Copies of this chain bind each other. A is one copy, B any other.
Amino acid sequence: MKKYCIGIDVGGTTVKIGLFEINGKLMEKWEIPTRREENGKYILNDIKQSVLEKITHSDIDISDVEGVGIGVPGSVTKDGTVLGCVNLGWGIFNLESEVKELFPNMTVKVGNDANVAALGELWQGSAKGYLDAVMVTLGTGVGGGIIIGGKIVTGATGGAGEIGHMPVNPNETEHCNCGKQGCLEQYVSATGIVRTAKILLRESDEKSALREYDIEKITAKDVFDCAKARDIIATMVVSEFGYYLGTAFAHVASVVNPEVFVIGGGVSKAGEIIIDAVEHYYRKLAFPACKNAEIILAGIGNDAGIYGAAALVAEND
């Protein structure tokens, strides 16, 4: 292994880039805008230019860079094919081959962003030292990543770790973005938490601090803040959140029995209240042999993507 590697997290608005020592130390990170125009055709070249420029202006020799890892917001199959990234304007193509052409003589690895973030938490985040981990990223949507024996599980068609689309409520009448009804994402994403709050506020006459907010502008953070202040409606919302995520974790445990569940994404900033809500149901619902899995908060926040992308290269064997 050479001395350095690059980790890249491609999002719909910005591309985050990190220059790492191969042992996991982040030396420098920066961002460039994601140019989505013309089906995102400039994105990869923009990345190449930015990386080469950064290296040129550093005291690092490019021959000391082992390779480039990239996480993208879409399914990625084992051979490096992306099956479309709506947020980037990308269709189906072999991303790994294209990036290899831009960075000749380097190791190039690509993956789904949520899978890659899970690897990042395992490499240098709060799951460091574990081998079998499951991460769920709670943001506008819900992403997931499954790590077994230190390696990302990709699945037959890049769909492994799509925990957000587990069917957890057969009685749901509203549709998820994926077209199905009753997906986990409808209850535990930031959007889902707000949706539950609105439903409970509508269905109940109970006093609540949430009624003092502009109902159209309530955020998941508001809900957790009110629950921490012992608001009844907010507490019920958090409890429903915990029930669905705890149920999903019990399902996951029956399949891969991880050592640890890591909860990340914007919603996880609410802190320990999240863990308490999920543990309450998980410990009840999980198969006895799997009950004692750790449930922890993510440790490297928005940087999990670049760490994990770098780990694709640094941990490649």
**Chain A interface residues (CB < 8 Å from chain B):** 75, 83, 132, 144, 146, 148, 153-167, 170, 178-180, 247, 250-259, 284-285, 287-290, 292-293
Contacts and interface: CB of A to CB of B under 8 A. Distances in A.
Given A155-B132, A157-B289, A167-B285, A255 B251 contact: yes
A249 to B, nearest CB: 11
A166 B75 contact: no
A158 B289 contact: yes
A151 to B, nearest CB: 9
Contact of A155 (B157, B178, B256): B256
Task: Give the number of times this chain occurs in the complex, counting copies.
Answer: 2
B156 A75 contact: no
B255 A256 contact: yes
Nearest to A167: B285
A121 to B, nearest CB: 16
A162 B257 contact: yes
Contacts of A247: 167, 170
Contacts of A156: 132, 257-259, 290, 293
